[in-house]
Amino acid sequence: MADPWLGRTVLGRYRLRKKLGEGGMSVAYLADGGGHHVVVKLPNVGGPNPIDICIDKLRVEGEVLERIWRQYGGHPNIVKFVDRGDEGQYPVVVEEYVQGQTLAEYAAGKGGLDPDEAFEIGKRLADVLRFLHGYGIIHRDFAADNVMVRGADPVLIDFGTAKEGYAQLKPGTKIGKPCVSPPEQAIKGYAYFSSDVYMWASMLMGAMKPRRGRSVGAIDNFCRYINPSGALIAEPCDLVECGSYAGCLNDVLKMALEIDPTKRIKDGVELYDSLTRCSPPPPPCGTYLLINGRRVCLDPSKAYIVGTETASEPDIKIPEPELRRSGKTYISRRHARIWYDRSRGRWLIQDLGSVNGTKIIRGGQEIVMYFGCRDRCPGQPSQPYELVTGDQIALAFSRSTGAPYVVVEFYEQ
């Protein structure tokens, strides 16, 4: 049957172009909204759940997402709120379009995540839980099909099951997915902050590279790691490749997957803290850039041009993000320069007058080094900025939303 929503304009200004996907509760469409792409979510009328439940959930989703961005300031790894309203009897939620694949698809495409990348993705998702739990929000379906991967950065997209408020003692609807949801939620319908912690761990382990057998998808992978009562059949890092994170990550995954929710890591704050205590593996070099989970060592006696131009040593080639609108490239051929300044004893970065600019994200604050020459190119090189370990360098960002296209990180021992 033809989809009756396609081609329609909702809330007077969002024209639905294409169906992106659907879950039990809602259907997501790609739409045009004032010259750029957005995602419009509508209740899944033909889906497995009663329509009034789908309507309620979508309404809550819109409210929670709006509060996250308008009151709580948002989080870089949460999909941005755009708009909401009603179209006839149906609630409509409009949000940022996140280009990329779901974490489930992304991990499947690689046969499972490598340890370095898994740790980085896991840490950012733990930070999302730290943020949500800090505002009393329990997500309840923190799973690999509700996270998109943009470049190498995870973005949580689905708030259809989110619940606000600390009182979580009443039995609710059974939400989540069999075996990746914690027993208290799958069996009894209770959800605590620690239930999200469990799902964080089941999502991450399911996405990581299995040590035995082939990767069969994030959810099915994880199902193979537990017995019918929900207990792990072996140490986490005997089941998945943890690389040099083995000791610490093993303990965190184990404590996050405790069957008894009162013995589990209790919330995102505690989870994030335990992960930051996992010292990174011994580095192959003192200073490096992390690009898509890959370490690129920086030698203080060299200067590096980063960009898309085929690199001649020692320049660093930056991968273009996957693009839908054809032909456009986001990263400039010679985008920025990174070098070590002996007199200051610091690493410096300078934008070379790129088209889409460069900014540094440091402890949640954004420092725009250069806005990009955009349509008045070529531009002038920016001033040099000192880099600090842990800096996220956004190479190219959206003019309208500020969303980064590619993020590389800088680490110094």
Ligand X SMILES: Nc1ncnc2c1ncn2[C@@H]1O[C@H](COP(=O)(O)OP(=O)(O)O)[C@@H](O)[C@H]1O
| Contact status: 44 vs Mg ion (CB under 5 A) | no
What minimum distance in Å lies between the beta carbon of 101 and ligand X?
A: 8
| Closer by beta carbon to ligand X, 139 or else 359 | 139
Number of shown-chain residues binding ligand X (CB under 6 A): 22
Position of tokens 């088209």?
355
| Closer by beta carbon to ligand X, 125 or else 157 | 157
My answer on whether omega of the bond before 321 falls inside 30° of 0, hence cis, is: no
| Contact status: 153 vs ligand X (CB under 6 A) | no
| Closer by beta carbon to Mg ion, 22 or else 309 | 22
Q: Which of 102, 274, 358, 392 binds ligand X (CB under 6 A)?
A: 102
* Cα 243 to Cα 14, 362, 390, distances in angstroms: 46, 27, 21
What minimum distance in Å lies between the beta carbon of 369 and ligand X?
A: 28
What minimum distance in Å lies between the beta carbon of 346 and ligand X?
A: 38
What minimum distance in Å lies between the beta carbon of 52 and Mg ion?
A: 19
Pairing of strands 316-317, 304-307: parallel
406's tokens: 């590619």
From the list Mg ion, ligand X, none, partner contacted by residue 144 (C-beta under 5 to 8 A by kind): none
What minimum distance in Å lies between the beta carbon of 207 and ligand X?
A: 14
| Closer by beta carbon to ligand X, 21 or else 247 | 21
From the list Mg ion, ligand X, none, partner contacted by residue 22 (C-beta under 5 to 8 A by kind): ligand X
Q: Please answer whether residues 91 and 43 qualify as being in contact, where contact means their C-beta atoms are separated by less than 8 angstroms.
A: yes
Number of shown-chain residues binding Mg ion (CB under 5 A): 3
- Please, what is the angle between helix 193-207 and helix 246-256, to 10°? 130
190's tokens: 């209770």
Residue number, nearest CB to ligand X: 23
My answer on whether omega of the bond before 378 falls inside 30° of 0, hence cis, is: yes
Applying the rule CB under 6 A, the residues between 201 and 220 that interact with ligand X are none
Handedness of CA 105, 108, 112, 116 (dihedral sign): negative
| Contact status: 61 vs Mg ion (CB under 5 A) | no
Applying the rule CB under 5 A, the residues between 79 and 108 that interact with Mg ion are none
| Closer by beta carbon to ligand X, 48 or else 73 | 48
What minimum distance in Å lies between the beta carbon of 154 and ligand X?
A: 13
Q: How many CB atoms lie within 10 A of CB 279?
A: 10
What minimum distance in Å lies between the beta carbon of 117 and ligand X?
A: 20
Q: DSSP readout, 2-38? A: --TTTT-EETTTEEEEEEEEE-SSEEEEEEEETTEEE
Span near ligand X by CB under 6 A; candidates 90-98, 334-342, 354-362, 370-378: 90-98
Amino acid at residue number 37 = H
Rg, the chain, Cα only: 22
Q: Which of 116, 127, 158, 258 binds Mg ion (CB under 5 A)?
A: 158
From the list ligand X, Mg ion, none, partner contacted by residue 98 (C-beta under 5 to 8 A by kind): ligand X
Site mask, ligand X, residues 4-23, x = CB under 6 A?
A: ----------------xxxx
The H helix count followed by the E strand count for the chain is: 9, 22
CA torsion angle for 97, 100, 105, 108 (degrees, to 10)? -160
Q: Which of 117, 120, 127, 145 binds ligand X (CB under 6 A)?
A: 145
* Torsion angles phi and psi, residue 54, rounded to 5: -60, -40
Span near ligand X by CB under 6 A; candidates 93-101, 206-214, 235-243, 355-363: 93-101
Residue number, nearest CB to Mg ion: 23
| Contact status: 160 vs ligand X (CB under 6 A) | yes
Say how far apart CA 403 and CA 12 lie, in whole Å. 25
3-state DSSP assignment of residue 248: helix
* Cα 128 to Cα 77, 218, 277, 327, 362, distances in angstroms: 7, 20, 17, 33, 16
Q: Please answer whether residues 13 and 33 qualify as being in contact, where contact means their C-beta atoms are separated by less than 8 angstroms.
A: yes
| Contact status: 23 vs Mg ion (CB under 5 A) | yes
Q: Which residues bind Mg ion (CB under 5 A)?
A: 23, 146, 158
Residues making contact with ligand X (CB under 6 A): 20-26, 28, 39, 44, 79, 95-98, 102, 145-146, 148, 157-158, 160
